[in-house]
Amino acid sequence: MEKKKWSELWLSYDKVTELGGSQTLTIEGFDAENRIIKSAAKELERGFNGFAKISFVRESSVAKEGYEIAGADSKITVKASDENGILYGVFALLRNLAMGVSIESVNEKSSPSNPLRMMNHWDNMDGSIERGYSGESFFFENDDIIINDRTVDYARLMASIGINAIAINNVNVKGAATYLITDRFFDKVKKLQDIFADYGIKLYLTINFASPIEIGGFDTCDPLDETVISWWKDKAKEVFEKLPGIGGFLVKADSEGRPGPFTYGRTQADGANMLADAVEPFGGIIIWRCFVYNCTQDWRDHKTDRARAGYDYFKEFDGAYRDNVILQIKNGPMDFQIREPVSPLLGGLTKTNQILEVQIAQEYTGHQIDLCYLIPMFKEVLDFHTYCKEGADTVADIISGKTMGNKNAGFAAVINTGNDYNWTGNDLAAANLYGFGRLAFDMSLSSEEIAREWVSLTYHMDKKSEDTLVDMLLNSREIYEKYTSPLGIGWMVTPNTHYGPSVDGYEYSRWGTYHRADHHAIGVDRSDKGTGYAQQYYKKNADMFNDPDTCPEELLLFFHRIPYTYKLKSGQTLIQYIYDSHFEGAKQAKELMEKWESLKGAVPEDVFERVMERFKLQVENANEWRDQINSYFFRKSDIPDEKGRKIY
């Protein structure tokens, strides 16, 4: 068979088609000509060759987008109350079979934890991808839209993990992308939208808040200006007529140089609500990002605290947002560092729709060179008790709609794909792509279950090899954390690129990301005696974070300024912990590479080589981090390593 131009990732179906045979499909209660039902049938045909009678059955008792699959005596039934449920049921069936479950024992019921399960592309229309580490965009090139077989395979991959919403363009909307909501691109956007719709996915567009200026020829985009309001109303009508079924718009405003309501002395709620009113007649949604902070700070200023910004800007207007506005909140208050506390906005808002935003593009977590399986981090965020409401106070409760009983809620990821053969640059980074979708669909799955599924579907390995790879994935985040910045302080990365160490790279800059290390201590005091950030949480968490004795140690330097001689719970001093963790992290990075070497033969040769190349770079990166961090803190503190290891 001719080798495909791009990898099939977890949808290779090798194991399923091996079964051989024939099948018949009956459809009860659904229109066989429905586009999603047709996709489900096509996928079955493609993936399944077993001897079986399969039926799709409409069953109103099954939850929205949920499914029940059951097999018995060469008969398989897929039940759902809607078309998406049937499609997800088919993918679940194929997954079961590919993982070796026999037809007779197939038995799975599932329904999505989150109403919206979304991917955010940071793809630009010139083909580049902001924070992309997997080649160029497969949606755009030369200020135009690309549509080909890969688009279809992409939609299949996304549907197979339960994704039902996709924003195709970068949150920083510049140049041609501003015109995605005009005649210049409607025809092609519609084609993309149709491909997505075949797989039950709603398309979203990211818009430029200054569109009335950039497209409309206005000299203002003030959200309270009547002419601006009516321009957006007309624009929304046009967009929803040309692109019926589009989900809505995603907006980054007043953030890192992007235009927004603040320019006109208006609030974030003014901006979001104006757009919400414009799309409301068409059932549209406005997803409004909360990544708003002062990015022109003076490093000399110790009072302004970037971590506070989201809560300070958005909490005041809790409840003032329209029902069709969803605030999209990054998991931490800073910016996708390897360790951050959960954003106090999550659950801090109790009357506003919320989506959790995470980043599987490995911007600060190793650029898809270093191995960093992020699902354990996401699980920690989801399991965090905010104390916003008794019995329904975890982040998972909030974003699933359980806390407030709302349906405009969910989970979004900044995606890690590009047009590389393997989609994700590092073949192993596909575990994050797969994992995010599976977790967004079913938040009760464990990091290990997800890792096992992905390994098994992708590589069909023997048990011992599978255990090795799963173990590598599960430990990778902690290893990355050990050799990079310590105990939640974050940053210390090379400015702009965000790969590799530069301890003071962001220390004297305008971005509000300081560690404030001197010869005596390190960290920012965010307690009630410092910037007061810890007070943004509900009392139980505020008290916990406020006191260094009760603050989770992995976040100690996020919340507190701590002397190098401070004794940690282990009895180690802080400085000794920094040395030890960095020596250990770099050593474990090398062990990861050795474990990968042991998998030669268990994975295809090309995969082995591509990943090996990256592990070599990871080991170099980890050594560089170890030596720069250790030398930096030795020079600052003048306290030698107790174990006498080499520090430069």
Q: Which residues are catalytic?
A: 256, 335, 363
Nearer to ligand GCU, 85 or 127 (CB): 127
Our CB check for ligand GCU shows the closer of 359 and 394 to be 359
Smallest gap, in angstroms, from Cβ of residue 626 to ligand GCU?
Answer: 25
**Pairing mode, strands 116-120 and 165-167:** parallel
Calculate the alpha carbon distances from 593 to 330, 376, 456, 622 in Å: 32, 21, 20, 12
Residue 569 corresponds to which tokens in the numbers above? 């719970």
Residue 252 or 560: which CB sits closer to ligand GCU?
252
Q: Which residues contact 424 (CB under 8 A, 6 or more apart)?
A: 134, 368, 416, 417, 418, 430, 432, 433
Residue 82's alpha-carbon distances to 26, 31, 75, 94, 204, in angstroms, are 16, 11, 21, 19, 21
A 10 A CB-CB count for 610 gives: 18
| Spatial CA neighbour of 472 closest among 427, 423, 422, 416 | 427
Dist CA 586 CA 482 (whole Å): 8
For residues 335 and 364, give the distance between their C-alpha atoms in angstroms, rounded to a whole number. Answer: 9
- DSSP string of 591-638? HHHHHHHHTBTTB-HHHHHHHHHHHHHHHHHHHHHHHHHHHHHHHHH-
Distance, in Å, from the CA atom of 311 to the CA atom of 509, rounded to the nearest integer, reads 23
E strand spans, 106-208: 107-110, 116-120, 140-141, 144-145, 165-167, 202-207
Pseudo-torsion of CA 263, 269, 270, 276, nearest 10°? 120
Nearest distance from residue 337's CB to ligand GCU, in Å? 11
Burial of 481 (0-12, 13-18, 19+ CB in 10 A): buried
d(CA 196, CA 119): 12
Cβ 258 to ligand GCU shortest distance, Å: 8
Side-chain-side CA neighbours of 417 within 13 Å: the count stands at 30
User: In whole angstroms, how close is the CB of 140 to ligand GCU at the nearest point?
Assistant: 17
Min dist. Cβ of residue 130 to ligand GCU (A): 5
637: CB partners within 8 A, 6+ apart: 519, 520, 564, 575
Task: List the structure tokens of 10.
Answer: 């977890």
Task: Give the Cβ contact number of residue 569 at 10 Å.
Answer: 8
Tokens of 323: 């029902």
Q: How far is the CB of 460 from ligand GCU (least distance, A)?
A: 37
User: Which residue's CB is nearer to ligand GCU, number 357 or number 466?
Assistant: 357
Which residue, 114 or 120, is less far from ligand GCU as judged by CB? 120
Binding site for ligand GCU (CB under 6 A): 130-131, 171-172, 252, 255-256, 291, 335, 363
CB of 65 to ligand GCU, least distance (A): 28
Q: Which is nearer to ligand GCU, 92 or 177 (CB)?
A: 177
What would you report as the CA-atom Rg of the chain, rounded to the nearest whole angstrom?
Answer: 25
* CB 275 to ligand GCU: min, Å: 18
Q: How far is the CB of 357 from ligand GCU (least distance, A)?
A: 8
Supply 191's token pair: 């084609």
Question: Any idea how long the chain is?
Answer: 648
- The backbone torsions φ and ψ at residue 567, rounded to the nearest 5 degrees and listed phi first, read -90, 125
Smallest gap from residue 252 Cβ to ligand GCU (A)? 5
Cα 590–chain centre separation? 27
The stretches of 256-394 forming alpha helices (DSSP H) are: 268-279, 309-314, 375-383
Ranges of H-type helices in 199-337? 211-214, 226-242, 268-279, 309-314
- Angle formed by the axes of helices 447-459 and 430-441, to 10°? 130
Q: How far is the CB of 122 from ligand GCU (least distance, A)?
A: 7
Sign for the pseudo-dihedral over CA of 349, 355, 356, 358: negative
**Cβ at position 331, least distance to ligand GCU in Å:** 12
Instruction: Tell which phi-psi region holds residue 516, choosing left (phi > 0), alpha (psi between -120 and 50) or beta.
Output: left
